[in-house]
Amino acid sequence: MSSSTPDTTPSLFVIGANHHTAPLEVREKLALTADRMAAFQAVVERIKGLHELTVLNTCNRVEFYGVAENPAVIDRLQAEFCAACSLPTTLLAEVRLYAEGSEAIAHLVAVASGLESQMLGENEIFGQVKTAYQTAQDRKTVGPVLNRVFQKAFQGAKYVRTHTAITVGQVSVANVAVDLPLNIFGDLRNARVLLLGAGDIGEKTAVAFQSRGVESLTVASSTLAKAMELATRYNAAALPFEHVPVHLHEFDIVVCSTAAPTAVVTHFAVTTALRRRPSQPLFFIDLALPRDVEPEVAKLENAFVYNLDDLARIAEDNRAAREAEVNKARSIVSERAQAIWRQLALPSSRTSDQTALPGRTLGTPSSVSDLSSRATGA
């Protein structure tokens, strides 16, 4: 791609897909696994005309916040993302989220405040957005525009959460997940629970199960040391990951939250496990993206499978009960976004001639890194 020209005007944008725009079976195809993410970032950081970039990659969304010299640069970013996922650009086009300027800022504030989460008002997303921003800072892919936008967005999100009641009676993924088996098992005190994955979601789920009286808890992870560490903290047992298929029949509830690129619970393994526990249901809660449980498992008699989209439908009842607070929060988000946009678009005495602002002319930086190295952090 040719170098940018001095008279072009950059755009602040967000592009991507999330649980509002794409169903689970599409989101898992768009998920940026660790390997994909590393390769993708190495490529896009060399795109000429892409001045700044932050990647927000969670189980329910993959979104790119950036500053681009022109629409062709954004098209190139989209094409590289699809290439990293080995998917045609037409697929992303069907489910794409796209916004510019103040609308992009409003979306970021809403996301960080928990307004756009499947579990309205949940806390985890604020930390995930902060982590995404910190990662971009570490990689030097943010500059004066995104620095200002994210810092102000964090302030706006905190204001929304403290000046509305969207967090009152809030539900988390872990809490909704552990309540699902109650319809099948009733009292969970005698349930045998297996956690596949020893990360943050796995730990929160362990806490939620124990709060409901579960005493038999086992943790399995691709890294045995992590499984043992989590098991020790919660007085649980640890199981080598490769032994899971052999012992699957011993459990009543299996919660999956690994970062594996493909399913780790197969139709064959579950069929075998069900034969060894006749007339006893096997309950799967799949919180992973891509999914950890093969879709065909849900067709088996006595196998019950719930995934992220199922949890979202349950959470809608919670959201509907707080609709007035949602509307109040969205009004605050809109006001905050407009204020941030005005601050960015107007000249400031704190802005040097090297600061890139929407609506003003950039120089001729050729890549994200070039502009970031010149950023003032305003």
Q: Which residues are catalytic?
A: 59
Q: Which of 36, 170, 57, 147 is nearest to 111 (CA)?
A: 57
Label the pairing between strands 50-57 and 61-68: antiparallel
**Considering only CA atoms, which of 104, 126, 103 is closest in space to residue 115?**
126
Read off the tokens for 232: 């020790």
Q: Tell me which residue of 138, 1, 140, 139 sits closest to 69, measured CA to CA.
A: 1
Give the tokens for residue 100: 């510019």
Tell me the three state secondary structure of residue 34: helix
Helices (H), the chain: 24-30, 34-44, 71-84, 89-95, 101-113, 124-138, 144-163, 173-179, 182-185, 200-211, 224-233, 244-247, 267-275, 308-320, 323-345, 368-374
Nearest C-alpha neighbor of 153 from the set 115, 191, 183: 115
Phi then psi dihedrals of residue 220, to 5 deg:
-130, 140
Q: Residue 57 forms beta bridges with which residues?
A: 62
In a 13 Å sphere around the CA of 6, the CA atoms on its Cβ side amount to 1
On whether the CB atoms of residues 131 and 365 are closer than 8 A, the answer is no
In angstroms, what is the C-alpha Rg of the chain?
23
> Bridge-partner residues for 324, per DSSP?
none
The set of residues, in sequence order, having a beta carbon less than 8 Å from that of 132 and lying 6+ positions away, is 54, 55, 56, 57
In terms of Cβ atoms closer than 10 Å to its own Cβ (0-12, 13-18, 19+), residue 280 is: exposed
Residue 26 main-chain phi, psi, to 5 deg: -90, -40
Of residues 187, 179, 130, 121, the one with CA closest to residue 153: 130
- Whole-angstrom Cα distance, residue 138 to residue 96? 27
